[in-house]
Structure 1
Amino acid sequence: MPFSFDGEFVESRQNHEILPEFMDGVGNEQQKTLRSFPNGSRNCYTLPSTIGKKYLLRATFTYGNYDRLNKTLDGSLFLFGLHIGVNFWDKVNLSNWDPSFTVWKEVLTVAPSNSVSVCLINFGSGVPFISSLELRPLQDTMYPFVNTSVSVSYFTRYRFGNITDFITRYPTDPYDRFWESWSGTIDYTYPWISLNTTNKVESLPGTDAFNVPSAIFQQASTIDTNYSFMSVAVATGPNIDTTSLQLLPIFHFAEINRSNPNRRFDIYSAEDLLFGDFSPSRFQVDSMYKNGQFLKNAYALFSLNKTDSSSLPPLINAFEVYSLVRMENLTTDSNDDGPIPDSIRQRVQAGLLDLRLVGNPVCANSKDTYCSDSKNNNKEDKKKKRNTTPILLIAVMVPVVLISLLVGMCILRKLYRKGKSGDNEDYASYEEKTPLHIDIRRFTYAELKLITNNFQSIIGKGGFGTVYHGILENGDEVAVKVLMETSIAESTDFLPEVQTLSKVHHKNLVTLQGYCQNKKCLALVYDFLPGGNLQQLLSGGDVYSLTWEQRLHIALDAAQGLHFSCVLAFRPYVCVSISKVKVSINYRTGVST
């Protein structure tokens, strides 16, 4: 695929190459060079396009320590933004990122005019840069939910089956979409089973809104018949903010089993049913999605559950997920350039309006005084400035003096209070103002102090912090897990886990009673187990009081609790159902049986 020099599409830039030690590790030539933009808060590429046309827009970023500052691994925040015109698209977060790795961002969008602007936004947390930028036209019928006010950003795109290439793209896909191999991201062993066919998989006219290549539908994944469901959990990664994600999943199916199977299943997003009693068509494309219905599924967990009437487990060929990008902010229309209306001229002549058009295209064929920057105008401006200088000085100095006095008084008052309070810091001022929208109790720091008797009784410790014994107002005993203050700033998982744990109700899992959301104290409040934990029961005291049958039941109960947690999106990559006494929880890092 040919790439052209970017000089004609962007104004300010600095050219760089990644360091030689990273050259061999990049996937293509485009990632060996880059453009950085150290000057200005906003630098834009202007790409020619056709108004109203749909495009796939892709930007790639390979740092390669080009500036020799080791910015991705120095422990600081390395973050900049992407805009399409004046609309926010995404953030590029390279913090703690391997300098040889490539980040890519994609968006499906509609050109608002005869050009598309892609802008890099400097947040003050690292110099923005870019390695390559692509604009690829799509068919107008593709991705029908994309329009002038709604774009979608790539979240993930997978093809299933036993695929050797980690990425499938052009020429297999004429639109050069990146399809990652599902078998390359997990431990693709039992109970996963790969299906394939040499038969052509076709789509009915007018029903294929995605033009997924037939070669992708000729491969599929299913599971052993002893299992009833398969889950696809897409990791969000450490540098992605999941709190504001609104996701649109697209499932691609084709039955490629040579027999005439009875395969029916339900499709869920977390616990919500998306499609019920679905049966894929034999050697024919079925793409399932909810048009315009974006989901708040922070962990991107989806499951395919076999129905009671089905003789075979679920199957899947390909899978796409996109996040919502709103395109509600409009730029100035090119048709709004033109002659100055008489009404504006009259207001200028009457002294009611000051008009300056220097540098405006409308001045190209005009000799109006508004378009010139003559010496007379300069002299008049200077005279006005001299007359207004004393007034400006007075207007500025008086507020500055008053504000300085107020700031000084506030500082003295704060120091005075601090001296009086000593170590008794006012934690109430650090309480988060906006509570989580969940059905469990939110404790304040003062309430935690009260129920734990000022954190007197320690019943456990771990890497997260300390566990304290507490008693609620009604006499119920609780265990209060308090996160260490030094770890609070790094605890990005706390709030998502509270939201997930609040939904967990299982006989083999301790119930979460509440939480504390304080900038100085994060805590979880659980039911208290007076008999001690499982480790203490197994390893302490008379260990022979437990029979092997009892130990087996304990192991099964624990596995069921873990499995239930897994299904409720504790960031698994795959969760497989429990069948009889077999338990298999397959994570990306290994298999636990």
Structure 2
Amino acid sequence: MEMIQSHKTRYPLPSILFLLHMLSLHLPSLAYTVPDKYFISCGSDTNSTASGRTFIGDLTSGNSGSFTFTRQSSPVKDSNKSTATPPLYQTARIFRERSSYEFVISSAGTYLVRLHFFSFSYSANLSTALFDVLASEISLVGNFSVPHGSNSPVIKEFFINITVGKFPIYFMPQGSSFAFVNAIELFLAPENFIPSPAPLVSPAGSDGNYEGILSKALLTIHRINVGGSTLSPENDTLWRYWVPDDSFLYSPDTAKNISFLSSKPNYQGGVTEYIAPDLVYQTAKEMNINSRRPSNNFNITWSFNVSKNAMHFVRVHFCDYVSASPGVLLRFNLYIYSNFSRQIYPYDTTSQLAAPFYVDFVVDSDDSGIMRISIGPRQDSGDQTAFLNGLEIMEIMGGLGKVARTSDPKNKNTSVFVVVGSVLGGLVLICILAVVLCLGRRCRKPKAMETLDWSPVPVHRGGSTDSRLQVPEGAMFGSLTPNLNLGLRISFAEIQFATNNFDIKKKIGKGGFGTVFRGTLSNGTEVAVKRSEPGSHQGLPEFQTEIIVLSKIRHRHLVSLIGYCDENSEMILVYEFMEKGTLRDHLYDSALPSLPWKQRLEICIGAANGLHYLHRGSSGGFIHRDVKSTNVLLDENYVAKVADFGLSRLSGPPDQTHVSTVVKGTFGYLDPDYFKTQQLTEKSDVYSFGVVLLEVLCARPAINTLLPLEQVNLAEWAMFCKKKGMLEQIVDASIRSEINLNCLRKFVDTAERCLEEYGVDRPNMGDVVWDLEYALQLQQTAMPREPHEDSTTDASAMLALPNIQHLPSLSMSMERDDMPMLREDLSNAPAIEVFSQLRIDDAR
């Protein structure tokens, strides 16, 4: 792979290092031609053509012994034979027992394997199949079934390193079910298409190199044509699908599409159209710098769902059509998560404009299941823009052999070189000696130079930098015992008794931290038991933070911690049991009855009271940092209690304006001011609570990518509707007849103030409590309308609210971190004293 080096670094022996750079590139062979095998139409006695490929029917003579079946299998045909279904998906081969296709491999290398599944009806429906697929002892597909009624095939794509000989793909039915497949592709990819090593990136930053990628199978998760449209196999040299990036953007207004369709990419240095097609390199997203954004201090960020706590191979594609001239090439930063950055400088790879290049990484995901990738300007380059053309993310699956990590803390950019031929052996030796000399000199550089570009671009506004508290995100609590409340410790045996040894029947949920069980302690107390995966250290900071925060605060509207267990590497938290579950469950995506409007108001007031206590319960207080509808729980009387304090941070003394910290939270609820500046304040919670208020009013998720683009983000869509006088488009139809108009105005006005772009313009939670209580009074008493209150819509607009379609939530959680040592004990602050309206300093 290309290793992007800083342009400031000056090396001796430039001609030797140029040869070294060329030898270290993981590029496909220019002599590659697309193979004509294997393309199999399963269960068919005729050949099928699809996207320029000819799929050979496995019942025809075209097989010629190049692949065989093992054990019993049967061909089946679609009984409907719809003309809308491509011929390739009108036949299939089914397996009633463990069976395989066995292919003869004559050339070793990385192979691209695609399995096509499409459910149709014959004597049985293929959607009822449940099975696994294995290849070379790697589980490719597990507990797999094809959704009933799907109009599109399901295609699973893998990259697998295969040696010469026989290569079987096993189909294994589960229980009394069966397995099936409609088509198989298996062909040799370009030489060195996938590298063996690549830089390893974790949520905490760089972690050396990851060795042995080729000993694993790669499953394609995302293949993104950034700035472009959907590309089908007809548009791709290796018959790949590419999808647009718009639905993955965190803030769409930060980016703009650019295209250069009339100019063919200038392929060179061994990069060919097989890496990615022309249309990927001819389109891109660039920073949207305009009159509304006079500063270049922002990034473009994409967020991708990935497998939790798994390794992923990430390939990032660039093609510089943006730079003014070959002599003045653009420099910018690529970020993965928040703690890793890499300078992107086309001059390190090519001196030509419009020359495609790519960078590879192995990225270790956290327990959030979200991977964030950003681009942004470098402060020291003078450039004000950045661009991205394409992105591929593949999950690294089970291995064929031992895989090792290597770490070199002295030089995070150390390249791994491959001897590419005996003829070049002498040059390789010379080059390695040159690198050793260079590394020796670089190791003597000051550490400040080594980490110059390893943190995201800081953004500050005037008037807020004088009192910053720098909190190191990597600071851990240390051992559990010195900091935790030992009076809350519960034995593992007691928890086993409470949950009937974690009986699956007592399971009530599963989250990023672990599985939640309902239990009953020996004293009869009903509890919720949250257990992390046994032996796993994922979530340790959140575990410690939750215990420390909840052992020091008590309030009617904050979930109480009953105890915890840390025996034998266990991480278990025991809470009071909340009978009615989450607020979200009662708003949408649930069979539960809809909450009446007055009850929703009371729940909002309760949650706001809890947050206000969290912020102002004592000097300094805490910032929750993950306020959302799933973290508002309801007890048996529908009393709201805020939960999940794993991301909480100290807010500092009263004269402290903010805490500078890495961005954490949940997309859709995340404060844009915090996201841009990395400066966390209690107003960040206020913004998130404003989104919750809109969820309560509209009964839809904060982010819903299934809706039209302008409606995806609830906060943006609701504020747009309010300004346009179209509030009726967002109110939950089930409560439209219950809401008093004056109450609605006050409620929406409160939410709008919470959602102000800058934190200084938002109310504090005490003001929010007061406003919501006033809205409740307006709901309970039909007060006359005041002219100045008419900020949303008129009465006639509320008479006929249309039904709003509520689609499933696709909210996405970002990565988590730890919290600094807490300094004050809040457990002795009486709730009634703290929350008396007569005694709050800033109460109205």
Asked if residue 221 in structure 1 is aligned to residue 285 in structure 2, the reply is yes
- Shift in CA distance, 283/314, structure 1 to aligned 2, threshold 3 Å: same
Q: For residue 174 of structure 1, what is the aligned residue in structure 2?
A: 237
Aligned to 1:17: 77
Q: Contact (CA 8 Å) 1:64, 1:100: kept in 2 or not?
A: no
1:184-583 pair list within 5 angstroms: 191-206=255-270, 211-226=275-290, 228-235=298-305, 242-257=307-322, 259-260=324-325, 263-276=330-343, 278-279=345-346, 282-290=353-361, 294-296=364-366, 298-308=369-379, 309-328=381-400, 424=524, 431=531, 434=534, 436-440=538-542, 441-442=545-546, 448=561, 461-463=583-585, 481-482=632-633, 501=665, 506-510=681-685, 536=772, 539-540=775-776, 569=814
Q: Are 1:150 and 2:216 counterparts?
A: yes
Contact 2:541 2:646 in 1 (8 A): no
Q: In the TM superposition, what is the alpha-carbon distance from 1:277 to its structure 2 partner?
A: 5.2
Is residue 256–residue 282 contact of structure 1 (8 Å, CA) maintained in 2?
Answer: yes
Change in CA separation of 1:428 and 1:254 when aligned onto 2, cut-off 3 Å: closer
| Residues 448 and 96 of structure 1: CA distance in aligned 2, closer, same or farther (over 3 Å) | farther
Q: Report the secondary structure of 2:772's partner residue.
A: helix
Separation in structure 2 between the aligned mates of residue 179 and residue 305 of structure 1, nearest angstrom:
24
SS at match of 2:375: strand
| Counterpart Cα distance in 2 of 1:141 and 1:203 | 17
SS in 1 for 2:106: coil
1:135: Cα distance to partner? Answer: 0.6
CA–CA separation in structure 2 for the residues paired with 1:176 and 1:249: 19
Q: Which amino acid aligns with 2:343?
A: G
Residue type at the aligned position of 1:48: V
How much identity, in percent, do the aligned residues show?
A: 12
Contact 1:439–1:502 under 8 Å retained in 2? no
Rounded to whole Å, the distance in 2 between the matches of 1:149 and 1:210 is: 22
| Equivalent residue number for residue 35 of structure 1 | 93
Cα RMSD of the aligned pairs, angstroms, is 5.3
Letter in 2 for 1:251: V
Residue 118 in structure 1 maps to residue 188 in structure 2: no
- In the alignment, residue 282 of structure 1 is paired with which amino acid? L
Q: In the superposition, relative to structure 1, how do residues 277 and 141 fare at CA in structure 2: closer, same or farther (>3 Å)?
A: closer
Cα offsets for 1:294-321 (capped at 9, x unmatched): 5558323211112334444221222111
Mapped partners of 2:311, 2:777: distance in 1: 51
Going from structure 1 to structure 2, the CA distance change for 1:15 and 1:567 (only over 3 Å counts) comes to closer
Shift of 1:45: 1.4
Partner SS state of residue 439, structure 1: helix
For 1:92 and 1:459, how far apart are their aligned partners in 2?
29
Separation (CA, whole Å) in 1 of partners of 2:581 and 2:125 = 46
Candidates 134, 153, 157, aligned match of 1:102? 153
Q: Which amino acid aligns with 1:463?
A: D
Instruction: Please say if 1:50 is aligned against 2:101.
Output: no
In 1, the alpha carbon distance for the partners of 2:814 and 2:575 equals: 35
1:182–1:531 Cα change, 3 Å: closer
Distance in 2 of aligned mates of 1:533 and 1:119: 61
CA 54–463 in structure 1, closer or farther in 2 if over 3 Å, else same: closer
1:46–1:116 contact (8 Å) kept in structure 2: yes
What is the CA deviation profile of residues 137-177 of structure 1, one whole-angstrom value per residue up to 9, with x for unaligned ones?
112222223765223221121223443xx33335x533323
Q: Distance in 2 between matches of 1:183 and 1:56?
A: 27
Distance change (3 Å), C-alpha of 1:259 and 1:277: closer
Change (3 A) 1:179 1:266: same
**What is the rounded CA distance, in whole Å, between the counterparts of 1:536 and 1:284 in structure 2?**
57
- Counterpart AA for 1:103: V
The AA in structure 2 aligned to 1:313 is T
Residue by residue, what CA displacement relative to the aligned partner does 1:245-273 show, whole Å, maximum 9, x if unpaired? 32121111111248437633211122132
Counterpart of 2:102, as a letter, is T
- Deviation string, structure 1 residues 182-233 (Cα, Å, up to 9, x no partner): 4698899995222214333233334669633344322223242235432222
SS in 1 for 2:300: strand
- Matched residue type, 2:242: W
TM-score for both structures, normalised by structure 2: 0.42
Normalized per residue, the structure richer in strand is 1
Partner Cα separation in structure 2 for residue 6 and residue 310 of structure 1: 60
**Equivalenced residues, count:** 425
Alpha carbons of structure 1 residues 48 and 201: separation in structure 2 relative to 1, 3 Å? same
Counterpart residue identity of residue 437, structure 1:
G
Structure 1 residue 568 displacement after superposition: 6.8
User: In the TM superposition, what whole-angstrom CA distance separates every residue of 1:81-117 from its partner, at most 9, and x where no partner exists?
Assistant: 2211222223364475643221111111111331221
Distance 1:495 1:50 in 2: 57
Question: SS at 1:30's partner residue?
Answer: helix
Q: Tell me the equivalent position of 2:34.
A: none
Question: Aligned partners of 1:423, 1:126: CA distance in 2, in Å?
Answer: 46
CA distance in structure 1 between the partners assigned to 2:646 and 2:177 by the alignment: 28
Q: Which segments of 5 or more consecutive residues in structure 1 lack a partner in the other structure?
A: 73-77, 237-241, 331-409, 411-419, 486-493, 513-527, 552-564, 571-593
Residue matched to 1:414? none
How much does 1:13 deviate?
A: 1.7
Compared with structure 1, are the counterparts of its residues 173 and 314 closer, same or farther at alpha carbon in structure 2 (3 Å cutoff)?
A: same
Cα distance, 1:235–1:149 mapped onto 2, change above 3 Å: closer
Q: Which runs of 5+ in 2 are unaligned?
A: 1-52, 60-66, 197-211, 403-499, 501-519, 552-558, 565-573, 588-602, 637-643, 649-662, 671-679, 689-763, 793-809, 816-844
Q: State the distance in 2 between where 1:181 and 1:188 align.
A: 13
Tell me the distance in 2 between the aligned counterparts of 1:567 and 1:456: 24
Relative distance call for 1:106 and 1:327 in structure 2 (3 A) is same
> Matches of 2:369 and 2:522 in 1, distance apart?
42
Match of 1:394 in 2: none
2:146 and 2:154 in contact (8 A); partners too: no
In the alignment, residue 152 of structure 1 is paired with which amino acid?
L
User: Residue 535 of structure 1: CA displacement?
Assistant: 7.2
SS in 1 for 2:89: helix
Within 1, Cα distance between the matches of 2:354 and 2:529?
Answer: 63
Q: Following TM superposition, by how much is the alpha carbon of 1:324 offset from its aligned partner in structure 2, in angstroms?
A: 0.6
